[in-house]
Structure 1
Amino acid sequence: MFESCQIKGVIFDCYQTLIDIDTDEHSHETYKTVSRWLAYQGVDVKPEKLKDSYMLKVKERMDESPETYPEVRVEEVFAEICGENAVWRINEKRLGVDTSRVFRAASIRKLLPFPQSIRLIEHCINIPKCIISNGQRVFSELELRYLGLYDYFDFVIFSSDVGYKKPDLRLFMTALKRMGLEFQPKCVMSVGDSYENELLPARKLGMRAMQIEEAWEKFGLKK
């Protein structure tokens, strides 16, 4: 159906566009669960300290970054926390990855695909398409795979891959280049839930852009 608009490529956002998600990264219960799990990995850190350390280290990395829209890698943050609180010898890098995934699992309250978005993807099955997400590859890729979405796309760019987030134009420029459409931005559609993060930067580059619910309605996919 996008072909009728002469669209040659589509860029999708991930969360609240393809995936309906709700998380609580501030809940004491989230850090309590991670703290208990870490005890079995050789790391002794109480929930309150874990939360404070995590929030502080993320903020420090954000503040130190030269980027306008900085991003961190949470597995590096957790690796550092684990190293500082280890009670026996650990593999910090590997434990940082595992802790990131446990933290995500503990914080998730809802994780479902939007059925309307799956049908929308299927409408443009023969068109090059990708995802640009302000997300952490360490667990976001697994969520896409678990929900059966990852293989629909030619590639996925996560902000954690590059150290900066949307609305940074470079993410969209990279996607255009990887699709071979850097000289045809007007033939590419950006679909997402955020005007600031998905619609505005795409239009600045000469792309078309559509809010996700508008796309559902356009193609008769509304609930």
Structure 2
Amino acid sequence: MTKNRSIFLDYSNTITTVESENMAIEKWLSFIRDKYNLDQGMSEKFLELRLKKLVERERNFKTFMEINREVLNELYGIKEIYEDEYYRFHEKYLRLRDDFLPFMKEVKGAFSVVVVTDADNIYTERTMRSLGIYDLFDCIVTAEDVKAPKPDRRIFEEALRRSGYPEQVIFIGDSERRDIQGANNMNFLVIKMGDPSRDTAADFVATNFSQVLKILEERGLLK
């Protein structure tokens, strides 16, 4: 699979909506909280410690599920992480951005499209299949594949290898640290999906995929 140009896409909070991501994780945490009769502040404690461990995984790689297990065990001594429930809540509640599928129809002929995600393999496949998008991409590269999350160069280098080393890469993601910093280090053209009023090192900012298309059109990249 070789095309001269590629679009590399982050998955969570870029292809999917922030609101649905938050809803899915909260439903899973509520399930655990009710099962063990935990305190109402359980979700906040879990997410705070999980975020800390996600930063630490840049130096010592662990999957999301391994981190979930560590956090529940450290906070509450819970050994069971209810992995299948985690997947099922995400399959049920995750939603695509409204204009993602029209965006894909516009770019598929002009670019190879590659997902570069920090998520685990099973999670990525199950949720993408439930959303009906798993087969839309030329390839999917996860942090679990290379044992290194963004902004580590290894995950981007693997995406380049699998996409046939395109001459130009446009990267689209939402995280300033993981996506924007990592893509800038690779000298990609970088579009941040987020709030245009916030400072960013990205080349462009878009709030939706329709705006991404406009950026590509204005640069003469949709041919």
Q: Residues 139 and 210 of structure 1: is their aligned pair in 2 closer, same or farther, counting only changes over 3 Å?
A: same
- Number of corresponding residues: 191
Q: Residues 150 and 46 of structure 1: is their aligned pair in 2 closer, same or farther, counting only changes over 3 Å?
A: same
Q: Distance in 2 between matches of 1:54 and 1:62?
A: 12
Task: Tell me whether 1:100 sits opposite 2:81 in the alignment.
Answer: no
Q: Secondary structure at the match of 2:140?
A: strand
Which residue number in structure 2 is paired with residue 203 of structure 1? 184
**1:15-34 equivalence runs, <5 A:** 15-22=12-19, 23=22, 30-34=28-32
Q: Residues 160 and 53 of structure 1: is their aligned pair in 2 closer, same or farther, counting only changes over 3 Å?
A: farther
Ranges in structure 1 where 5+ consecutive residues have no aligned partner: 1-5, 40-44, 87-91
Which residue number in structure 2 is paired with residue 121 of structure 1? 104
Q: Residues 194 and 60 of structure 1: is their aligned pair in 2 closer, same or farther, counting only changes over 3 Å?
A: closer
Q: Residues 217 and 195 of structure 1: is their aligned pair in 2 closer, same or farther, counting only changes over 3 Å?
A: farther
1:159 is aligned with what amino acid? Answer: A
Cα deviation per residue 1:120-164 (whole Å; 9 max; x = unaligned)?
222222332210122233333322222222211022222344443
Q: Percent identity?
A: 18
1:101 is aligned with what amino acid? Answer: Y
Task: Tell me whether 1:134 sits opposite 2:118 in the alignment.
Answer: yes
Match among 58, 65, 75 for residue 65 of structure 2 = 75
Q: Residues 64 and 209 of structure 1: is their aligned pair in 2 closer, same or farther, counting only changes over 3 Å?
A: closer
**Contact 1:54–1:77 (CA under 8 A) maintained in structure 2:** no
Q: Residues 54 and 17 of structure 1: is their aligned pair in 2 closer, same or farther, counting only changes over 3 Å?
A: closer
Cα deviation per residue 1:76-113 (whole Å; 9 max; x = unaligned)?
4566879x768xxxxx7xx753143256479x5xx321
TM (norm. structure 1) is 0.63
Q: Distance in 2 between matches of 1:134 and 1:102?
A: 19
Task: Tell me whether 1:112 sits opposite 2:95 in the alignment.
Answer: yes
Which residue number in structure 1 is paired with residue 198 of structure 2? none
Q: Secondary structure at the match of 1:19?
A: coil
Q: Distance in 2 between matches of 1:56 and 1:153?
A: 33
Q: Distance in 2 between matches of 1:202 and 1:146?
A: 28
Q: Residues 117 and 219 of structure 1: is their aligned pair in 2 closer, same or farther, counting only changes over 3 Å?
A: farther
Structure 1 residue 203: deviation in Å?
Answer: 3.1
Q: Secondary structure at the match of 2:11?
A: coil
Q: Distance in 1 between matches of 2:170 and 2:141?
A: 16
Q: Distance in 2 between matches of 1:15 and 1:121?
A: 16
Q: Distance in 1 between matches of 2:55 and 2:189?
A: 33
Q: Residues 9 and 58 of structure 1: is their aligned pair in 2 closer, same or farther, counting only changes over 3 Å?
A: same
RMSD over aligned CA atoms reads 3.9
Q: Residues 177 and 98 of structure 1: is their aligned pair in 2 closer, same or farther, counting only changes over 3 Å?
A: same
Match among 127, 147, 152 for residue 168 of structure 1 = 152
1:188 is aligned with what amino acid? Answer: V
Q: Distance in 2 between matches of 1:19 and 1:160?
A: 20
